[in-house]
Structure 1
Amino acid sequence: MITPRPLAATTAVALALVALAGCGVESEPTATPVDDVSDGHGEIATAAEVEEPPLALVSVDADGRVGLLDLLSGESEDLGSAGAPTGLASDGRYVFVSTAEGVDIVDSARWSWNHGDHFHYYLGSPEMPGTVPGSGIATVTWGMLSTDGSTALHFAGSGDAVLLENEALAEGEIVERFRVDVDADAVVAPLGDGAIISEADALGVYDAEGRQTEQSVSCTDAAGAITTVVGLAIGCAEAAVLVTGDEDEAEFSVIPYPDDVDAERAVAFDGRKGRPTVAGLTDASGFWLLDTREETWTHVATEHTLVHVTAVDDEAGHVVALDTDGRVRVYAAATGEEIAATDVLVGAPDEATSLTVDGQRAYLNDPAAAVVHEIDYADGARIARTLDTPTSPAFLSEVGR
């Protein structure tokens, strides 16, 4: 039996009621039909607005069976089957499962919408819309809102760059805005209804039909892309490029690495969705913090080699990382100090090992033991729960964020 995840229920409900009132919507103690909510809040007709984040874990076993575990109620369900997974990515609503045939999409029908000073939360019925064909593990990059804009997929094997229409996907339909052939190591990321695609030593802007525009900016050896609440950040050898606006009028800000720090560049980024600061993993010990609001870099040297690092970007500035020994380590962003660490939780972490954070907890899958560790990173990296998911968590993601 799984104990539901404890939340500050009274506070959460109070905040939700204030948020809804601030949008001119009548607040109720139960789910509010989306038809009663004002336009522009990320809603769709098949979901209901709820009072707190509908957090859940989506697990995919080695055969492709997909399960969902509700972190609030403890209830679980089987969602169906994808192909045998070779990789997984998630924007906090959709789970993109790379297989030998392409990417199978799982819609958890749980998502959050950032309304500046508060959030809206939605819950619907999960489904599996279908497959985006392609070859090789797909790198998936998304925007801030799962019901608008685009999601970009890049297949390393075939070199296809695919841009999906989010509005259609939210209604259960896979619509490719475009599919173009790009370099195998290209970075492809959504920008409004269009995309940014790297080539040679530049980042180019593409419109919704896959036509390259005249907008571009210099970028050597592009690697890593993430959308923050400020804009789209892309890693380059000499800097990060922050892109704001849309495909019609993109604005570029170059954030160079500090001259007084001798450290490897960031090659991948991760952070809590809807926050300005993200963590950048390097090829060596240590990590970077990129503040896209202040447009600054901070380097943190570590004694341990890390395989994953993600910025919570909460008031306390927690950064959660996984090292090569299988320990979760927690750092303070302001000082770089390691403030907590777990015992060894997983052996020999690999690309299937997932570390996801939300505003209170981190989740780490242990495929060998077929469990998920829920970690209270703000409380000395305490193991809050050990969770059994409905399918063995060969791959895992948290949704509802």
Structure 2
Amino acid sequence: MTAALALGVLVVGPIACSTEQAAPLPVDEASGEGHGAVADAAELAEPRLGLTTIDPTGGVSHLDLQDDSVSDLGAIGAPETMTTDGRYLFATTSAGIEIVDSGVWTWDHVDHFHYYRAEPRLLGTVEGDGEPAVATSNLSTSGGTGLYFPDSGDAVLLDTEALSRGEIAESFRLQNPPGDGMVVPVGTFALVTDGVGESRTVVGYTADGRRTGLVEPCPDAAGTITTRVGAVVGCSDGALVASATGDELTVERIPYPADATAPPATAFDNREGRPTVAGLAGDQGIWLLDTREKSWTLLPTPTPLVHVSAVDDSDENVLGLATDGRVLVLNGSDGSVVAETGPLVASSVAAGKAPTLIADQQRAYLSAPDERRLYEIDYADDARISRTFETATEPAFTAETGR
């Protein structure tokens, strides 16, 4: 079905919120610290999933996927890139990184989940030069968020717990030589890249910016994602998986197969938190990294792809966005096509307006900037389009929030 929604011109002003009321919870042993609760947040019985979008002028809006209501959250600068952790949107603008709090999040407690809703808000700006690499964790009320500004070499770790209170606080800001790099949060620690090219390493730091003594080679470091097992850092010879237990930071290396000839993955995506992640192996297929089994698998692909994401469900599905605008559901064992959509975002791909493809436990969401649409796809039901949302302005950047 199609829903026509007023995702139109947005204004700076009071933030609209859902009319649903839920009483704030006391912060206690059952739902307090360690379970994702913050002051003035309401705990919900189920996740309040939404699609939070930023248009080319910086207008921010939120589509509630439960009741199809739309809220205008205000405006930031014109966005150039965007990264999300499922609650916050970190948008690159001319001012630096501007942060949007969608006000909805899930706390993953491994064997169960806690779901929260609070007032959405625009949090402010982290200053820096150049288009930064942003690295997030799976928890939006603790740990850190890493920013690396290439033009200045500033390596910044933000306090994510402070973000949950509406404050921007830098745990550290290190001055490195200008150039690409990453700050990867790992529990109460962070890994910061050092050096260039084949001689690049990652260096362990405490949250207050002190070296831990951990230094690991990671040639041509590129790409990071956090799973339940640990934080992944891509290297040209494989990947590092970092984890923190108490006061100890550890890193394990997972090398590519000895006979591998496909290019290394330089970006990763998956259904949030799942152990298996996917990345393009150049034009030669898809690399699947199982962080639990410590293994790589190279899948052939039936057509050129621009993005892949590991659903990592019982059927081992992998989602792929083809260069002709189709979404493919691929078999994670052999790369064969299980199901596919039509060319939903052909115009966006042709115009160089990168669509966003997101997978959660039940659905996939695809943004179509040039077509001015958002699609909800039931990938387990023959890639059926379950809902289509028309938008009045271009959803240049889209995040699924509340997950």
Q: What TM-score do the two structures reach when normalised by structure 1? A: 0.89
Q: Secondary structure at the match of 2:39?
A: coil
1:195 maps to a residue whose letter is A
Residue 2 of structure 1 is matched in structure 2 by 3
Q: Secondary structure at the match of 1:35?
A: coil
Q: Secondary structure at the match of 2:171?
A: strand
Separation in 2, partners of 1:92, 1:390: 24
Separation in 1, partners of 2:317, 2:187: 30
- The structural deviation recorded for 1:125 is 1.0
Asked if 1:291 corresponds to 2:312, the answer is: no
Separation in 2, partners of 1:327, 1:160: 39
Correspondence 1:2-401 to 2 at 5 A = 2=3, 31=22, 33-35=24-26, 37=28, 38=30, 39=32, 40-182=34-176, 183-200=178-195, 201-245=200-244, 248-346=247-345, 347-349=347-349, 350=352, 352-389=354-391, 392-401=394-403
Task: Indicate if the aligned counterparts of 1:113 and 1:145 stay in contact, CA closer than 8 A.
Answer: yes
- The structural deviation recorded for 1:41 is 0.6
Comparing 61-70 with 188-197, greater Cα deviation is found at 188-197
Task: Indicate if the aligned counterparts of 2:348 and 2:369 stay in contact, CA closer than 8 A.
Answer: no
1:189 maps to a residue whose letter is V
- The structural deviation recorded for 1:73 is 0.8
Alignment RMSD (CA, Å)? 1.9
1:176 maps to a residue whose letter is E
**Residue by residue, what CA displacement relative to the aligned partner does 1:28-80 show, whole Å, maximum 9, x if unpaired?**
xx946321652321110121111111100011111100000000111111000
Separation in 2, partners of 1:86, 1:106: 15
Separation in 2, partners of 1:353, 1:307: 10
Q: Secondary structure at the match of 2:26?
A: helix
- The structural deviation recorded for 1:391 is 5.0
Q: Secondary structure at the match of 1:216?
A: strand
Task: Indicate if the aligned counterparts of 1:177 and 1:210 stay in contact, CA closer than 8 A.
Answer: yes
Q: Secondary structure at the match of 1:299?
A: strand
- The structural deviation recorded for 1:158 is 2.7
- The structural deviation recorded for 1:246 is 5.8
Using a 3 Å threshold, how does the CA distance of structure 1 residues 47 and 3 change in structure 2: closer, same or farther? farther
Task: Indicate if the aligned counterparts of 1:31 and 1:51 stay in contact, CA closer than 8 A.
Answer: no
Separation in 1, partners of 2:152, 2:396: 25
- The structural deviation recorded for 1:389 is 4.5
- The structural deviation recorded for 1:87 is 0.6
Task: Indicate if the aligned counterparts of 1:59 and 1:390 stay in contact, CA closer than 8 A.
Answer: no
Using a 3 Å threshold, how does the CA distance of structure 1 residues 3 and 80 change in structure 2: closer, same or farther? closer
Q: Secondary structure at the match of 2:268?
A: strand
Separation in 1, partners of 2:357, 2:141: 25
2:395 maps to a residue whose letter is P
- The structural deviation recorded for 1:351 is 6.2
Q: Secondary structure at the match of 2:163?
A: helix
Using a 3 Å threshold, how does the CA distance of structure 1 residues 368 and 391 change in structure 2: closer, same or farther? closer
Comparing 210-219 with 94-103, greater Cα deviation is found at 210-219
Using a 3 Å threshold, how does the CA distance of structure 1 residues 123 and 170 change in structure 2: closer, same or farther? same
- The structural deviation recorded for 1:315 is 1.4
- The structural deviation recorded for 1:91 is 0.2
1:77 maps to a residue whose letter is S
1:382 maps to a residue whose letter is R
Q: Secondary structure at the match of 1:33?
A: coil
Task: Indicate if the aligned counterparts of 1:58 and 1:397 stay in contact, CA closer than 8 A.
Answer: yes
- The structural deviation recorded for 1:167 is 1.0
**Please, which runs of 5 or more residues in structure 1 have no aligned partner?**
5-29
Task: Indicate if the aligned counterparts of 1:269 and 1:279 stay in contact, CA closer than 8 A.
Answer: yes
**Residue by residue, what CA displacement relative to the aligned partner does 1:109-134 show, whole Å, maximum 9, x if unpaired?**
11111111111111111001111112
**Residue by residue, what CA displacement relative to the aligned partner does 1:67-115 show, whole Å, maximum 9, x if unpaired?**
0000011111100001001011100000111101111111011111111
Separation in 1, partners of 2:246, 2:184: 11
Separation in 1, partners of 2:167, 2:311: 32
Task: Indicate if the aligned counterparts of 2:192 and 2:203 stay in contact, CA closer than 8 A.
Answer: yes
Separation in 1, partners of 2:391, 2:175: 38
Task: Indicate if the aligned counterparts of 1:55 and 1:399 stay in contact, CA closer than 8 A.
Answer: yes
Task: Indicate if the aligned counterparts of 1:63 and 1:85 stay in contact, CA closer than 8 A.
Answer: yes
Separation in 2, partners of 1:58, 1:320: 21
Residue 17 of structure 1 is matched in structure 2 by none
2:180 maps to a residue whose letter is D
Q: What TM-score do the two structures reach when normalised by structure 2? A: 0.89
